Amino acid sequence: MASTGENINANEDELNSTVLKRKSPERDTEESDNIPSKMPKSDEHASIVAAHYNNLEEKGMKERFNSPIFYLRNFNNWVKSVLIQEYTDKLREKDYGRKLQVLDICCGKGGDLSKWQKARVDRVVFADIAEVSVEQCKARYEDLQRRCNRVYAAEFIAADCSKETLRDKYSDASMHFDVVSCQFGLHYSFESYAQARRMLTNVTECLRPDGYFFGTIPDAYEVVSRAQKAPDGKFGNRIFNISLLFDPKEGFPLFGAKYDFHLEGVVDCPEFLVNFELFVKLAAEFGLELVYKARFADFYKDHSKNYKQLLNRIMCFESYPAPPGKELIGEDSDYEHAKKFFEQAEKKNENDRIGTMSKSEWEVATIYMAFAFKKLKNTWDSKGKPVYETAKESK
């Protein structure tokens, strides 16, 4: 694949000290999971997010092919497919016939329905804040049932996963999960400390020891790095725009570091930065040990060899030069990297092509990162609180 342009990386050592600054000297000291019943600003933002995703139109295959982010969406789906396959395979290494139960939190319209089918799971609980999205997810599942002989069992929950207790809504409150997946949604819970804790409680309280929690989020260090190099903290291109909604000169809040994000046809609402160092420390309180993290560019390097066929099958990259009778989805300036690579290639003929992604799409893809945690085993102290074993002790 040709290089897709410069991937602007933040200086993490510098940003660790910068991003960890609070906007004010006050610090959240609440250690319980009790969430205040009246949170007007938070409720207002939740309504905005839910309304945005509820109002997103269902698009047919033809419209998707014509989308300016067609290859970006396919690449994102490749990342999710690899995560699902990697960690369901790890669980089956110990017990091949294991019946896997899954929580797909922040499931949206059910974009991963078929991925769970291919992973041969036994049951999936789908949960999301947007009620219309959950209804569409259920409709897609019913369509999957009509098309396949055997499909995993499923249930569907419309709830704000950063404020409500999901366990109370399961058909079986004693249910336990082997896998929890949260794709492109966890960052919304970092609006506040209480919401982040509630989200992690929902993720972990029914996750079995040695089970996995994985997902994808915007990389706060990448967002901050680009914003610091841009006028007024705003940056983007023809398909996306990001604008910080706080003053970086006052420091970067641990929670509530709000920014506006517009991505053509997909996202148009405020989001929140996730300081990853803080996320790891907070997750450890819930018995989660980080086992993998990678920006999408590095994720591609880590997994492209083993999942090359899948990359080709779901069309993650655009053919360059454009085949006869077809046009590239981006502008000419989006392919300078591909043009240079192609011109330098040896022994090429008029039918040769390379796979690439437009610079505009790659600039969006490289904002994101993937992560995976493993749930540690635990004992209980005299107060009934879990005491988690170290990774070495858990083996």
What digits encode the pLDDT tens for the residues 85-118?
999 999 999 888 889 999 999 999 999 999 999 9
Beta strands 240-244 and 386-388 are unpaired
Residue 11 to residues 17, 81, 253, 385, Cα–Cα distance (Å): 11, 30, 18, 38
How many other CB atoms are there within 10 angstroms of residue 160's CB atom? 22
Helix (H, G, I), strand (E, B) or coil at 214: strand
Q: How far apart are CA 338 and CA 335, in angstroms?
A: 5
Q: Looking at the chain, which residues constitute the CATH 3.40.50.150 domain(s)?
A: 40-219+272-307+368-394
- Sign (positive/negative) of CA torsion 72, 78, 80, 82? negative
Domain 40-219+272-307+368-394 sits in CATH at: 3.40.50.150
Secondary structure letter of residue 79 according to DSSP: H
- Using 50, 70 and 90 to split pLDDT, how confident is the model at 269? confident
How does pLDDT run across 160-186, given as a tens digit for each residue? Answer: 999 999 999 999 989 999 999 999 999
- Using 50, 70 and 90 to split pLDDT, how confident is the model at 1? very low
What residues are paired with 215 via a beta bridge? 182, 371
pLDDT of 10 > 50? The answer is no
Question: Tokens for 218?
Answer: 């915007």
Answer whether 0.75 is exceeded by the pTM: yes
- Half-sphere exposure for 360 (CA within 13 Å, toward CB): 20
Q: How far apart are CA 354 and CA 145, in angstroms?
A: 38
Burial 31-52 (b: 16+ CB within 10 A, else e): eeeebeeebeebeebbeebbee
How does pLDDT run across 64-80, given as a tens digit for each residue? Answer: 557 899 999 999 999 99
Residue 135 to residues 24, 126, 127, 231, Cα–Cα distance (Å): 41, 11, 11, 41
pLDDT of 302 > 90? The answer is yes
How many other CB atoms are there within 10 angstroms of residue 73's CB atom? 18
- pLDDT, the chain, mean: 85
Furthest C-alpha separation in the chain: 74
pLDDT of 63 > 60? The answer is no
N-term to C-term CA, the chain: 39
Contact 269, 188 (CB under 8 A): no
Q: What angle do CA 95, 85, 164 make, to 5 degrees?
A: 90
Question: Tokens for 153?
Answer: 């069992």
Beta strands 234-236 and 240-244 are antiparallel
Q: How far apart are CA 120 and CA 81, in angstroms?
A: 13
87 Cα distance to chain centroid: 15
